[in-house]
Amino acid sequence: MGCGAHCPREEERERGIGRGTLTTLTKHTIYKIGILVIIPNMAKNREHRDLFPGALEIMILQSLRVQPMHGYALVKHIRQVSGELLQVEEGSLYPALQRMLREGWLEAEKGTSTKGRPTRIYRVTEKGVRHLEQEVVSFERMFAGITRVLAVAKA
């Protein structure tokens, strides 16, 4: 459950630290990256877990590696590709994009949305591709370790 508007963990998510939340609502599991939206009548049926640090950055870099896009299209892409399991909150997306621009992992150019509004189109740089590849290797090692621990626990 959330702890209110001034919860330190919620503030971390607003700043886009790169963590997310696993929310379980009865039989459905939804991963929300960013600020968790509390639904008052369902709060007692929730379980929260943080996703690993850097999860948001990996998903942004991989998505933009496939195709440059603006922020809202990026949110929709991640949600659709994940089969509606991952939902990036805009309050985490845009700070993450700004950090990634500062790091040199992304570049942005002015563009126009499908509705004719001015927007920024983000694309991955070579430095961003190298960072993504390093992070994927790190994630695969972490996942392999977790899988081994779970396998022993089942035996």
38: which DSSP letter? P
Domains within the chain, CATH numbers bracketed: 8-154 (1.10.10.10)
Q: Any idea which residue has 């626990």 for tokens?
A: 153
Which tens digit of pLDDT belongs to each residue from 59-97?
999 999 999 999 999 999 998 998 888 888 888 899 999
Structure-model confidence comparison of residues 24 and 119, the more confident one: 119
User: What count of other Cβ atoms lies within 10 Å of the Cβ of residue 106?
Assistant: 24
Which residue spans within the chain are E strands per DSSP?
A: 21-25, 28-33, 48-50, 86-88, 106-112, 118-124
Q: What is the pTM of this model?
A: 0.67
Which tens digit of pLDDT belongs to each residue from 107-135?
999 988 888 889 999 999 999 999 999 99
Given a contact cutoff of 8 angstroms between Cβ atoms, the answer to whether 74 and 119 are in contact is no
105: which DSSP letter? S
